[in-house]
Structure 1
Protein backbone atom coordinates (compact mmCIF):
# COMPACT_ATOMS: atom_id res chain seq x y z
CA UNK A 1 0.00 0.00 0.00
CA UNK A 2 1.37 3.41 -0.95
CA UNK A 3 1.80 6.18 1.61
CA UNK A 4 -0.93 8.15 -0.14
CA UNK A 5 -3.41 5.32 0.49
CA UNK A 6 -2.48 4.79 4.13
CA UNK A 7 -5.16 5.58 6.72
CA UNK A 8 -4.48 8.75 8.64
CA UNK A 9 -3.61 8.79 12.33
CA UNK A 10 -6.97 10.45 12.95
CA UNK A 11 -8.80 7.64 11.16
CA UNK A 12 -7.08 5.00 13.25
CA UNK A 13 -7.85 6.89 16.46
CA UNK A 14 -11.48 7.31 15.41
CA UNK A 15 -11.74 3.56 14.78
CA UNK A 16 -10.25 2.90 18.24
CA UNK A 17 -12.84 5.21 19.82
CA UNK A 18 -15.57 3.37 17.91
CA UNK A 19 -14.38 0.09 19.43
CA UNK A 20 -14.47 1.62 22.92
CA UNK A 21 -18.01 2.89 22.37
CA UNK A 22 -19.10 -0.48 20.96
CA UNK A 23 -17.62 -2.20 24.03
CA UNK A 24 -19.66 0.05 26.31
CA UNK A 25 -22.85 -0.63 24.34
CA UNK A 26 -22.21 -4.36 24.37
CA UNK A 27 -21.62 -4.40 28.13
CA UNK A 28 -24.75 -2.34 28.73
CA UNK A 29 -26.79 -4.71 26.57
CA UNK A 30 -25.44 -7.74 28.42
CA UNK A 31 -26.11 -6.17 31.81
CA UNK A 32 -29.71 -5.42 30.89
CA UNK A 33 -30.39 -8.49 28.78
CA UNK A 34 -33.85 -10.05 28.76
CA UNK A 35 -33.56 -13.82 28.42
CA UNK A 36 -30.73 -15.88 27.00
CA UNK A 37 -31.23 -14.69 23.42
CA UNK A 38 -31.95 -11.00 23.76
CA UNK A 39 -31.88 -9.38 20.29
CA UNK A 40 -30.24 -6.27 21.78
CA UNK A 41 -27.25 -8.39 22.81
CA UNK A 42 -27.02 -9.88 19.32
CA UNK A 43 -27.10 -6.42 17.78
CA UNK A 44 -24.46 -5.08 20.16
CA UNK A 45 -22.28 -8.11 19.50
CA UNK A 46 -22.41 -7.58 15.75
CA UNK A 47 -21.66 -3.86 16.13
CA UNK A 48 -18.65 -4.68 18.31
CA UNK A 49 -17.43 -7.27 15.82
CA UNK A 50 -17.69 -4.80 12.94
CA UNK A 51 -15.95 -2.02 14.89
CA UNK A 52 -13.12 -4.33 15.99
CA UNK A 53 -12.60 -5.57 12.43
CA UNK A 54 -12.47 -2.02 11.08
CA UNK A 55 -9.96 -0.96 13.73
CA UNK A 56 -7.82 -4.04 13.14
CA UNK A 57 -7.66 -3.36 9.40
CA UNK A 58 -6.78 0.32 9.80
CA UNK A 59 -4.21 -0.44 12.48
CA UNK A 60 -2.52 -2.97 10.22
CA UNK A 61 -2.60 -0.70 7.18
CA UNK A 62 -1.15 2.26 9.08
CA UNK A 63 1.29 0.62 11.51
CA UNK A 64 1.61 -2.98 10.32
CA UNK A 65 0.27 -4.14 13.70
CA UNK A 66 -2.65 -6.36 14.69
CA UNK A 67 -4.90 -6.66 17.72
CA UNK A 68 -5.16 -9.72 19.99
CA UNK A 69 -8.94 -9.76 19.59
CA UNK A 70 -10.80 -12.50 17.76
CA UNK A 71 -14.58 -12.30 17.51
CA UNK A 72 -15.93 -15.83 17.01
CA UNK A 73 -18.12 -16.35 13.94
CA UNK A 74 -19.50 -19.44 12.23
CA UNK A 75 -17.23 -21.44 9.91
CA UNK A 76 -18.58 -19.65 6.86
CA UNK A 77 -17.68 -16.31 8.44
CA UNK A 78 -21.27 -14.99 8.52
CA UNK A 79 -22.68 -13.96 11.89
CA UNK A 80 -26.30 -14.83 12.71
CA UNK A 81 -28.49 -11.73 12.79
CA UNK A 82 -31.92 -13.33 12.53
CA UNK A 83 -34.68 -13.29 15.15
CA UNK A 84 -33.56 -14.23 18.67
CA UNK A 85 -36.81 -16.16 19.23
CA UNK A 86 -37.78 -17.49 15.78
CA UNK A 87 -41.47 -18.21 15.36
CA UNK A 88 -40.78 -20.46 12.37
CA UNK A 89 -37.83 -22.17 10.77
CA UNK A 90 -36.84 -24.07 7.63
CA UNK A 91 -34.60 -27.13 7.32
CA UNK A 92 -32.46 -27.17 4.18
CA UNK A 93 -30.62 -30.38 3.33
CA UNK A 94 -28.15 -31.27 0.62
CA UNK A 95 -26.65 -34.76 0.22
CA UNK A 96 -24.32 -35.73 -2.61
CA UNK A 97 -24.06 -39.26 -3.98
CA UNK A 98 -22.01 -41.07 -6.60
CA UNK A 99 -23.65 -43.87 -8.57
CA UNK A 100 -21.02 -46.58 -8.14
CA UNK A 101 -23.17 -49.61 -9.06
CA UNK A 102 -25.73 -48.59 -11.71
CA UNK A 103 -26.97 -52.18 -12.13
CA UNK A 104 -27.78 -52.44 -8.42
CA UNK A 105 -29.59 -49.07 -8.50
CA UNK A 106 -31.69 -50.08 -11.48
CA UNK A 107 -32.46 -53.51 -10.03
CA UNK A 108 -33.78 -51.92 -6.83
CA UNK A 109 -36.00 -49.59 -8.86
CA UNK A 110 -37.31 -52.50 -10.94
CA UNK A 111 -38.31 -54.34 -7.75
CA UNK A 112 -40.28 -51.31 -6.59
CA UNK A 113 -41.91 -50.86 -9.99
CA UNK A 114 -42.93 -54.53 -10.11
CA UNK A 115 -45.00 -54.13 -6.92
CA UNK A 116 -46.25 -50.56 -7.34
CA UNK A 117 -48.32 -49.50 -10.35
CA UNK A 118 -47.67 -45.84 -9.59
CA UNK A 119 -43.89 -46.35 -9.76
CA UNK A 120 -43.22 -45.79 -13.45
CA UNK A 121 -39.72 -46.81 -14.53
CA UNK A 122 -38.68 -45.16 -17.80
CA UNK A 123 -38.49 -47.40 -20.84
CA UNK A 124 -34.75 -46.79 -21.20
CA UNK A 125 -34.20 -48.42 -17.79
CA UNK A 126 -31.44 -45.95 -16.95
CA UNK A 127 -30.27 -44.52 -13.65
CA UNK A 128 -32.21 -41.28 -14.09
CA UNK A 129 -35.53 -43.10 -14.11
CA UNK A 130 -34.39 -45.43 -11.32
CA UNK A 131 -33.64 -42.46 -9.06
CA UNK A 132 -37.14 -41.09 -9.67
CA UNK A 133 -38.69 -44.41 -8.67
CA UNK A 134 -36.58 -44.90 -5.55
CA UNK A 135 -36.96 -41.37 -4.20
CA UNK A 136 -40.68 -41.60 -4.90
CA UNK A 137 -40.89 -44.76 -2.82
CA UNK A 138 -38.44 -44.16 0.03
CA UNK A 139 -37.81 -41.26 2.36
CA UNK A 140 -34.46 -39.49 1.76
CA UNK A 141 -33.28 -40.51 5.23
CA UNK A 142 -33.86 -44.18 4.43
CA UNK A 143 -31.94 -43.90 1.19
CA UNK A 144 -29.11 -42.22 3.07
CA UNK A 145 -28.98 -45.03 5.63
CA UNK A 146 -29.10 -47.71 2.89
CA UNK A 147 -26.94 -45.99 0.29
CA UNK A 148 -24.81 -49.07 -0.40
CA UNK A 149 -27.93 -51.22 -0.90
CA UNK A 150 -28.91 -48.87 -3.73
CA UNK A 151 -25.47 -48.88 -5.34
CA UNK A 152 -24.68 -45.37 -4.11
CA UNK A 153 -21.68 -43.86 -2.37
CA UNK A 154 -22.22 -40.92 -0.04
CA UNK A 155 -20.36 -37.65 -0.60
CA UNK A 156 -20.57 -34.42 1.37
CA UNK A 157 -23.77 -33.43 3.13
CA UNK A 158 -25.01 -30.36 4.95
CA UNK A 159 -28.09 -29.42 6.93
CA UNK A 160 -29.05 -25.80 7.62
CA UNK A 161 -31.70 -24.56 10.03
CA UNK A 162 -32.79 -21.08 8.98
CA UNK A 163 -34.91 -18.90 11.24
CA UNK A 164 -37.82 -16.68 10.21
CA UNK A 165 -40.46 -14.51 11.79
CA UNK A 166 -43.36 -16.47 10.30
CA UNK A 167 -43.98 -19.53 8.19
CA UNK A 168 -44.11 -19.02 4.42
CA UNK A 169 -47.40 -18.99 2.55
CA UNK A 170 -48.34 -22.30 0.88
CA UNK A 171 -46.52 -22.63 -2.44
CA UNK A 172 -44.59 -19.39 -1.91
CA UNK A 173 -41.07 -20.79 -2.36
CA UNK A 174 -41.67 -24.01 -4.30
CA UNK A 175 -40.42 -22.50 -7.56
CA UNK A 176 -37.03 -21.72 -6.04
CA UNK A 177 -36.68 -23.53 -2.70
CA UNK A 178 -33.06 -22.52 -2.05
CA UNK A 179 -32.96 -19.22 -3.89
CA UNK A 180 -33.93 -16.89 -1.04
CA UNK A 181 -31.71 -18.07 1.80
CA UNK A 182 -30.00 -15.26 3.68
CA UNK A 183 -26.75 -16.61 5.24
CA UNK A 184 -27.36 -14.36 8.24
CA UNK A 185 -30.58 -16.27 8.99
CA UNK A 186 -28.78 -19.62 9.35
CA UNK A 187 -29.33 -20.46 13.00
CA UNK A 188 -27.54 -23.85 13.00
CA UNK A 189 -25.46 -25.68 10.41
CA UNK A 190 -24.24 -29.28 10.38
CA UNK A 191 -21.67 -30.36 7.79
CA UNK A 192 -20.44 -33.88 7.06
CA UNK A 193 -17.45 -34.35 4.77
CA UNK A 194 -14.58 -36.77 4.33
CA UNK A 195 -12.27 -33.76 4.38
CA UNK A 196 -12.77 -33.61 8.15
CA UNK A 197 -11.60 -37.22 8.46
CA UNK A 198 -8.54 -36.40 6.36
CA UNK A 199 -7.66 -33.50 8.66
CA UNK A 200 -7.99 -35.77 11.69
CA UNK A 201 -5.73 -38.34 10.03
CA UNK A 202 -3.09 -35.65 9.47
CA UNK A 203 -3.02 -34.97 13.20
CA UNK A 204 -2.90 -38.69 13.97
CA UNK A 205 0.13 -39.07 11.70
CA UNK A 206 2.15 -36.46 13.59
CA UNK A 207 5.09 -38.03 15.46
CA UNK A 208 4.89 -38.45 19.21
CA UNK A 209 6.96 -35.69 20.82
CA UNK A 210 8.05 -38.18 23.49
CA UNK A 211 10.25 -40.93 22.02
CA UNK A 212 9.29 -43.15 24.98
CA UNK A 213 5.61 -42.91 24.11
CA UNK A 214 4.62 -40.77 27.09
CA UNK A 215 2.76 -37.55 26.38
CA UNK A 216 3.88 -34.39 28.13
CA UNK A 217 1.51 -31.81 29.58
CA UNK A 218 1.06 -28.68 27.43
CA UNK A 219 3.94 -26.27 27.87
CA UNK A 220 6.15 -28.82 29.61
CA UNK A 221 9.20 -30.60 28.30
CA UNK A 222 9.79 -34.13 29.49
CA UNK A 223 13.05 -34.66 31.32
Structure 2
Protein backbone atom coordinates (compact mmCIF):
# COMPACT_ATOMS: atom_id res chain seq x y z
CA UNK A 1 0.00 0.00 0.00
CA UNK A 2 1.37 3.41 -0.96
CA UNK A 3 1.86 6.16 1.62
CA UNK A 4 -0.92 8.12 -0.06
CA UNK A 5 -3.37 5.27 0.54
CA UNK A 6 -2.37 4.74 4.18
CA UNK A 7 -4.82 5.77 6.89
CA UNK A 8 -3.74 8.90 8.69
CA UNK A 9 -2.65 8.92 12.32
CA UNK A 10 -5.79 10.90 13.10
CA UNK A 11 -8.00 8.25 11.47
CA UNK A 12 -6.41 5.48 13.52
CA UNK A 13 -6.80 7.50 16.72
CA UNK A 14 -10.45 8.25 15.88
CA UNK A 15 -11.08 4.53 15.35
CA UNK A 16 -9.47 3.80 18.72
CA UNK A 17 -11.74 6.35 20.39
CA UNK A 18 -14.75 4.75 18.69
CA UNK A 19 -13.77 1.41 20.22
CA UNK A 20 -13.54 3.00 23.68
CA UNK A 21 -16.98 4.57 23.28
CA UNK A 22 -18.44 1.29 22.04
CA UNK A 23 -16.92 -0.50 25.04
CA UNK A 24 -18.64 1.97 27.37
CA UNK A 25 -21.99 1.50 25.62
CA UNK A 26 -21.65 -2.27 25.74
CA UNK A 27 -20.84 -2.24 29.46
CA UNK A 28 -23.76 0.08 30.17
CA UNK A 29 -26.12 -2.21 28.22
CA UNK A 30 -24.85 -5.26 30.11
CA UNK A 31 -25.23 -3.53 33.47
CA UNK A 32 -28.84 -2.56 32.72
CA UNK A 33 -29.86 -5.74 30.89
CA UNK A 34 -33.43 -6.98 31.42
CA UNK A 35 -32.76 -10.65 30.72
CA UNK A 36 -30.47 -13.17 29.09
CA UNK A 37 -31.63 -12.14 25.61
CA UNK A 38 -31.79 -8.36 26.02
CA UNK A 39 -31.79 -6.86 22.49
CA UNK A 40 -29.94 -3.74 23.73
CA UNK A 41 -26.99 -5.93 24.71
CA UNK A 42 -26.87 -7.51 21.27
CA UNK A 43 -27.06 -4.11 19.59
CA UNK A 44 -24.17 -2.86 21.70
CA UNK A 45 -22.28 -6.06 20.98
CA UNK A 46 -22.65 -5.57 17.23
CA UNK A 47 -21.56 -1.94 17.47
CA UNK A 48 -18.50 -2.94 19.50
CA UNK A 49 -17.61 -5.66 17.02
CA UNK A 50 -17.90 -3.24 14.10
CA UNK A 51 -15.80 -0.58 15.84
CA UNK A 52 -13.13 -3.12 16.81
CA UNK A 53 -12.97 -4.45 13.26
CA UNK A 54 -12.58 -0.95 11.82
CA UNK A 55 -9.80 -0.14 14.29
CA UNK A 56 -8.06 -3.44 13.63
CA UNK A 57 -8.03 -2.81 9.87
CA UNK A 58 -6.77 0.77 10.15
CA UNK A 59 -4.11 -0.20 12.70
CA UNK A 60 -2.82 -2.92 10.41
CA UNK A 61 -2.86 -0.71 7.32
CA UNK A 62 -1.03 2.12 9.08
CA UNK A 63 1.37 0.30 11.40
CA UNK A 64 1.32 -3.34 10.26
CA UNK A 65 0.09 -4.31 13.75
CA UNK A 66 -2.93 -6.30 14.89
CA UNK A 67 -5.19 -6.39 17.96
CA UNK A 68 -6.07 -9.41 20.11
CA UNK A 69 -9.77 -8.97 19.26
CA UNK A 70 -11.60 -11.86 17.61
CA UNK A 71 -14.19 -10.33 15.32
CA UNK A 72 -17.31 -12.43 14.66
CA UNK A 73 -17.97 -13.19 11.01
CA UNK A 74 -21.31 -13.98 9.30
CA UNK A 75 -20.27 -17.64 9.30
CA UNK A 76 -20.35 -17.55 13.11
CA UNK A 77 -24.08 -16.87 12.97
CA UNK A 78 -26.08 -13.75 13.78
CA UNK A 79 -26.74 -12.80 17.39
CA UNK A 80 -30.27 -13.29 18.65
CA UNK A 81 -32.23 -10.03 18.75
CA UNK A 82 -35.74 -11.38 19.18
CA UNK A 83 -38.01 -11.04 22.23
CA UNK A 84 -36.48 -11.86 25.61
CA UNK A 85 -39.59 -13.84 26.57
CA UNK A 86 -41.19 -15.09 23.33
CA UNK A 87 -44.88 -15.86 23.47
CA UNK A 88 -44.56 -18.40 20.65
CA UNK A 89 -41.90 -20.04 18.52
CA UNK A 90 -41.46 -21.95 15.28
CA UNK A 91 -39.44 -25.12 14.71
CA UNK A 92 -37.92 -25.35 11.23
CA UNK A 93 -36.22 -28.55 10.13
CA UNK A 94 -34.23 -29.31 7.02
CA UNK A 95 -32.88 -32.79 6.29
CA UNK A 96 -31.10 -33.66 3.05
CA UNK A 97 -31.10 -37.15 1.54
CA UNK A 98 -29.50 -38.79 -1.47
CA UNK A 99 -31.52 -41.48 -3.25
CA UNK A 100 -28.84 -44.18 -3.45
CA UNK A 101 -31.12 -47.17 -4.12
CA UNK A 102 -34.14 -46.09 -6.20
CA UNK A 103 -35.41 -49.66 -6.54
CA UNK A 104 -35.51 -50.09 -2.75
CA UNK A 105 -37.30 -46.76 -2.36
CA UNK A 106 -39.96 -47.71 -4.89
CA UNK A 107 -40.34 -51.19 -3.38
CA UNK A 108 -41.00 -49.71 0.04
CA UNK A 109 -43.65 -47.43 -1.45
CA UNK A 110 -45.26 -50.39 -3.22
CA UNK A 111 -45.53 -52.22 0.12
CA UNK A 112 -47.36 -49.24 1.58
CA UNK A 113 -49.77 -49.13 -1.34
CA UNK A 114 -50.41 -52.86 -1.02
CA UNK A 115 -51.61 -52.44 2.56
CA UNK A 116 -53.24 -49.01 2.37
CA UNK A 117 -56.21 -48.52 0.07
CA UNK A 118 -55.93 -44.73 0.30
CA UNK A 119 -52.30 -44.69 -0.87
CA UNK A 120 -51.66 -44.48 -4.60
CA UNK A 121 -48.49 -45.03 -6.57
CA UNK A 122 -48.37 -43.75 -10.12
CA UNK A 123 -46.62 -46.32 -12.24
CA UNK A 124 -44.88 -43.52 -14.14
CA UNK A 125 -44.02 -41.50 -11.04
CA UNK A 126 -40.77 -43.25 -10.21
CA UNK A 127 -38.91 -42.14 -7.12
CA UNK A 128 -40.70 -38.76 -6.95
CA UNK A 129 -44.07 -40.47 -6.48
CA UNK A 130 -42.57 -43.06 -4.11
CA UNK A 131 -41.19 -40.31 -1.87
CA UNK A 132 -44.67 -38.78 -1.62
CA UNK A 133 -46.19 -42.13 -0.64
CA UNK A 134 -43.57 -42.83 2.02
CA UNK A 135 -43.74 -39.39 3.62
CA UNK A 136 -47.52 -39.67 3.57
CA UNK A 137 -47.31 -42.94 5.50
CA UNK A 138 -44.36 -42.45 7.87
CA UNK A 139 -43.39 -39.66 10.23
CA UNK A 140 -40.25 -37.77 9.10
CA UNK A 141 -38.48 -38.94 12.26
CA UNK A 142 -39.05 -42.58 11.35
CA UNK A 143 -37.74 -42.05 7.84
CA UNK A 144 -34.68 -40.34 9.31
CA UNK A 145 -34.02 -43.26 11.64
CA UNK A 146 -34.58 -45.85 8.88
CA UNK A 147 -33.02 -43.99 5.96
CA UNK A 148 -31.05 -47.00 4.72
CA UNK A 149 -34.19 -49.17 4.74
CA UNK A 150 -35.73 -46.74 2.28
CA UNK A 151 -32.69 -46.65 0.02
CA UNK A 152 -31.66 -43.21 1.24
CA UNK A 153 -28.40 -41.74 2.46
CA UNK A 154 -28.54 -38.92 5.00
CA UNK A 155 -26.84 -35.63 4.26
CA UNK A 156 -26.66 -32.48 6.35
CA UNK A 157 -29.53 -31.51 8.62
CA UNK A 158 -30.41 -28.50 10.71
CA UNK A 159 -33.09 -27.55 13.21
CA UNK A 160 -33.90 -23.92 13.98
CA UNK A 161 -36.03 -22.63 16.86
CA UNK A 162 -37.21 -19.12 16.01
CA UNK A 163 -39.03 -16.82 18.44
CA UNK A 164 -42.13 -14.83 17.62
CA UNK A 165 -44.27 -12.34 19.49
CA UNK A 166 -47.48 -14.33 19.05
CA UNK A 167 -48.90 -17.43 17.41
CA UNK A 168 -49.87 -16.77 13.81
CA UNK A 169 -53.43 -17.15 12.59
CA UNK A 170 -54.38 -20.59 11.19
CA UNK A 171 -53.32 -20.88 7.57
CA UNK A 172 -51.54 -17.51 7.59
CA UNK A 173 -48.14 -18.74 6.38
CA UNK A 174 -49.03 -22.02 4.67
CA UNK A 175 -48.54 -20.62 1.17
CA UNK A 176 -44.91 -19.67 1.94
CA UNK A 177 -43.87 -21.31 5.22
CA UNK A 178 -40.12 -20.72 5.07
CA UNK A 179 -39.78 -17.15 3.81
CA UNK A 180 -40.65 -15.07 6.86
CA UNK A 181 -38.04 -16.19 9.39
CA UNK A 182 -35.52 -13.54 10.40
CA UNK A 183 -32.18 -15.25 11.20
CA UNK A 184 -31.81 -12.93 14.18
CA UNK A 185 -35.01 -14.39 15.66
CA UNK A 186 -33.40 -17.83 15.85
CA UNK A 187 -32.95 -18.61 19.54
CA UNK A 188 -31.26 -21.99 19.06
CA UNK A 189 -30.06 -24.09 16.16
CA UNK A 190 -28.72 -27.63 15.99
CA UNK A 191 -26.66 -28.68 12.98
CA UNK A 192 -25.59 -32.20 12.01
CA UNK A 193 -23.05 -32.69 9.23
CA UNK A 194 -20.29 -35.12 8.38
CA UNK A 195 -17.97 -32.12 8.15
CA UNK A 196 -18.09 -31.90 11.94
CA UNK A 197 -16.98 -35.52 12.22
CA UNK A 198 -14.02 -34.74 9.98
CA UNK A 199 -13.10 -31.79 12.19
CA UNK A 200 -13.15 -33.86 15.38
CA UNK A 201 -9.52 -34.72 14.68
CA UNK A 202 -8.61 -31.04 14.35
CA UNK A 203 -9.02 -28.10 16.67
CA UNK A 204 -12.73 -27.44 16.09
CA UNK A 205 -15.56 -29.49 17.56
CA UNK A 206 -19.14 -28.45 16.83
CA UNK A 207 -20.92 -28.53 20.19
CA UNK A 208 -24.35 -27.82 18.69
CA UNK A 209 -24.06 -30.96 16.56
CA UNK A 210 -23.17 -33.02 19.60
CA UNK A 211 -26.08 -31.54 21.56
CA UNK A 212 -28.45 -32.30 18.68
CA UNK A 213 -27.31 -35.91 18.55
CA UNK A 214 -27.79 -36.25 22.32
CA UNK A 215 -31.30 -34.80 22.11
CA UNK A 216 -32.17 -37.01 19.15
CA UNK A 217 -31.38 -40.06 21.28
CA UNK A 218 -33.97 -39.07 23.90
CA UNK A 219 -37.52 -40.45 23.45
CA UNK A 220 -40.11 -37.97 22.29
CA UNK A 221 -37.64 -35.45 20.86
CA UNK A 222 -37.30 -34.58 17.22
CA UNK A 223 -33.84 -35.49 15.90
CA UNK A 224 -32.11 -32.61 14.17
Using structure 2 for the length normalisation, give the TM-score.
0.80
User: Contact 2:159 / 2:189 at 8 angstroms: preserved in 1?
Assistant: yes
Q: Secondary structure at the match of 1:157?
A: strand
The whole-number CA distance in structure 2 between the counterparts of 1:54 and 1:77 is 20
Alignment pair present for 1:181 and 2:178: no
- Stretches of structure 2 that go unaligned for 5 or more consecutive residues are 204-224
Hey, what does 1:210 align to over in structure 2? none
What is the correspondence of 1:1-223 to structure 2 with a 5 Å cutoff?
1-71=1-71, 75-124=75-124, 126-201=126-201
Structure 1 or 2, whichever has the larger Rg, is 1
The whole-number CA distance in structure 2 between the counterparts of 1:115 and 1:85 is 47
The whole-number CA distance in structure 2 between the counterparts of 1:201 and 1:140 is 31
The whole-number CA distance in structure 2 between the counterparts of 1:103 and 1:88 is 42
Hey, what does 2:216 align to over in structure 1? none
Task: Please state how far the C-alpha of 1:34 moved relative to its aligned partner.
Answer: 2.5
The whole-number CA distance in structure 1 between the counterparts of 2:53 and 2:68 is 11
User: Contact 1:82 / 1:163 at 8 angstroms: preserved in 2?
Assistant: yes
Q: Secondary structure at the match of 1:162?
A: strand
Q: Residues 48 and 112 of structure 1: is their aligned pair in 2 closer, same or farther, counting only changes over 3 Å?
A: same
RMSD of equivalent CA atoms: 2.2
Task: Please state how far the C-alpha of 1:181 moved relative to its aligned partner.
Answer: 3.0
Task: Please state how far the C-alpha of 1:140 moved relative to its aligned partner.
Answer: 0.8
Q: Secondary structure at the match of 1:158?
A: strand
Q: Residues 35 and 179 of structure 1: is their aligned pair in 2 closer, same or farther, counting only changes over 3 Å?
A: closer
- Stretches of structure 1 that go unaligned for 5 or more consecutive residues are 204-223
Task: Give aligned pairs, total.
Answer: 203
Higher mean C-alpha deviation, range 76-85 or range 187-196: 76-85
Hey, what does 2:222 align to over in structure 1? none
User: Contact 2:98 / 2:153 at 8 angstroms: preserved in 1?
Assistant: yes
User: Contact 2:37 / 2:81 at 8 angstroms: preserved in 1?
Assistant: no
User: Contact 2:35 / 2:84 at 8 angstroms: preserved in 1?
Assistant: no
The whole-number CA distance in structure 1 between the counterparts of 2:138 and 2:87 is 30
User: Contact 1:106 / 1:125 at 8 angstroms: preserved in 2?
Assistant: no
Q: Deviations over 1:49-79 (max 9, x none)?
A: 2221221122222222211012557754433
User: Contact 2:42 / 2:79 at 8 angstroms: preserved in 1?
Assistant: no
